[in-house]
Every structure is written in structure tokens, then in C-alpha cells.
Amino acid sequence: MGIPTAPTVTVAFKDLATSTVAKRGMPHERICFTPHPIWGKSDEQMYAYLEGNDPVTGKPLMPEVIAALTNPLIADEQKTVTVTPSVGPPTFVDTYDSLQKYYMNKGMTDFVPIIIPTKEKVDAMLKGTSHDPEEVIGELTPARESFPAWKFTVRNVAVNAVMAGAEPEYLPIILAIAASGLPSLSSSTNSFATAAVINGPLRDTLNMNYGIGAMGPFSQVHAAVGRAWTLFSKNCGNCGQPGETTWARKGTPSI
């Protein structure tokens, strides 16, 4: 838009911030960095950050922010580029074991063996919904303020549902979660956990657990829906890539 900006990022996200703006066509973005972390600090400590130096450039932080906001943009800073990653061929043909390794090595699994999403299995999964397979059902991003959102179709979600071991009758729940735009894996340095609360007649139709074992590994639908959420968050939203789109210290809700 031709307007100078000064994104302010903690130094722990330096590599993430610089790689993200480069991938999005803005390698000269005027990013200012603060020490890390900024949460859990007293007012005195926060003012020390503001009155101190940018830990990356070594320049006084607030004068650097003011300069970034007020200095006219140079020609290179005004260039815009759209980066579109390749999604590869639509199908793969190989042995079962080789495909398992391929999916795992490409970061498309939760590192546990998956159900290989053959065309037949995906077509069977799609019978669980009346939506057009090519309908764009939603978009996902690890963090809207930091990463571009990826759009995905009903078929994309069905592929991940197959991989997770879901049955076609689970697909409406999985599609509803996908359409919410909420990923199961966040980009924060904290290790948040997400959960879905499912109510209505469908819970009885699918024999879901509630009252007893509502959050335990006692039902295929619970396990498969939760796993599908993780898989499509990774494959349809680029979530959960350590050091790139997630910085969770421990990877659990307890840190």
C-alpha cells in the first residue's frame, strides 16, 4: 500500500519473521525486534525494553521504530511479489511401505502410520457429505497476524480424514471443525491445546462418549476426529512445523 510500517517482534522469532516476509515478497520489511519474552514482565522491565536497544540491530529501539514509520520507502521496499508453493502431482503410485515413508518424511503425518488415502478411500469418505468435493470449505493459518492463510476444499479435508482413520459418517464433524478456521496447532512459544465440544443428536448416532470418558481414548470417533484435526491443520494450513510455524517450547499444555 506504500505506507511505511514497523512490525515489532520478539527476538526469538527473528528467523521466522525474516523468512516469512521474504517468502511473501517483502524481504526489506522494516522489522524491529525486542528482547524475549514480553509476557510475565513488570512495568519496569517493559520500560527497560523500550528504552533499550534492538537486540538484532543494536540500535535504540524506539528511535528505530519512529524512523521505520516516518522515513519514505525506497524502491525495493515498494516491490510486491506473490509466492505460490508447489503442491506437487495430484496422485502418487508406489508401494504401501514407501508411501508411508513418503508421507512421514514430507511432514504430512503425526509420525504414526496413516491410512493411505487412495482414490477409492477418498471417494468413499466423500459419501459422508452432500458438499461438492471441490467446494472451498475454509482456510487455515498458524497465526493470522504472521502467516498467509491456506484455502482448502472438501476433498482436501476428506483426504486427511482418511489418513486419520475416520469413517464417512464422521466427515460432517471434521468439516465443521475445518470450516471454523481454528487450527489444532498454534505458532506460539507456549504449548496451547485445543479441543472441540460436540453436541446434538449426532453424538448419540456416532456413539460418542460423554459423561464417562468424554476426553479419553475410548472411542474411534473421538480419536479419529481429533487426529484428523491435527493432520488437516498441518496439511491444509501449514501448522505445526517446528522452528517455522510453531515455537512451542515443550509441545504439551504444561510448560
Report pLDDT for 40. 87
Asked whether residue 67 carries a pLDDT value surpassing 70, the answer given is yes
Contact in structure between 229 and 221 (CB atoms under 8 Å): no
Euclidean distance between CA atoms 212 and 35, whole angstroms: 46
Report pLDDT for 141. 87
* Nearest C-alpha neighbor of 118 from the set 152, 84, 94: 94
- Cell numbers linked to 220: 474411534
Asked whether residue 241 carries a pLDDT value surpassing 70, the answer given is yes
Contact in structure between 184 and 194 (CB atoms under 8 Å): yes
Q: Which helix (H) or strand (E) holds 153?
A: strand 150-153
Asked whether residue 23 carries a pLDDT value surpassing 80, the answer given is no
Report pLDDT for 254. 46
Report pLDDT for 110. 93
Q: What is the pTM of this model?
A: 0.72
Asked whether residue 255 carries a pLDDT value surpassing 60, the answer given is no
Asked whether residue 21 carries a pLDDT value surpassing 90, the answer given is no
β 136-140/150-153 pair status: antiparallel
Euclidean distance between CA atoms 247 and 13, whole angstroms: 8
Give the mean pLDDT of the chain. 88
Asked whether residue 112 carries a pLDDT value surpassing 90, the answer given is yes
Per-residue model confidence as pLDDT tens digits over 132-151: 999 999 999 888 766 778 89
Per-residue model confidence as pLDDT tens digits over 77-107: 887 766 566 667 778 889 999 999 999 999 9
Per-residue model confidence as pLDDT tens digits over 183-234: 988 777 777 778 889 999 989 999 999 888 888 778 899 999 999 999 999 9
Buried b (16+ CB within 10 A) or exposed e, 190-205: ebeeeeeebeeeeeee
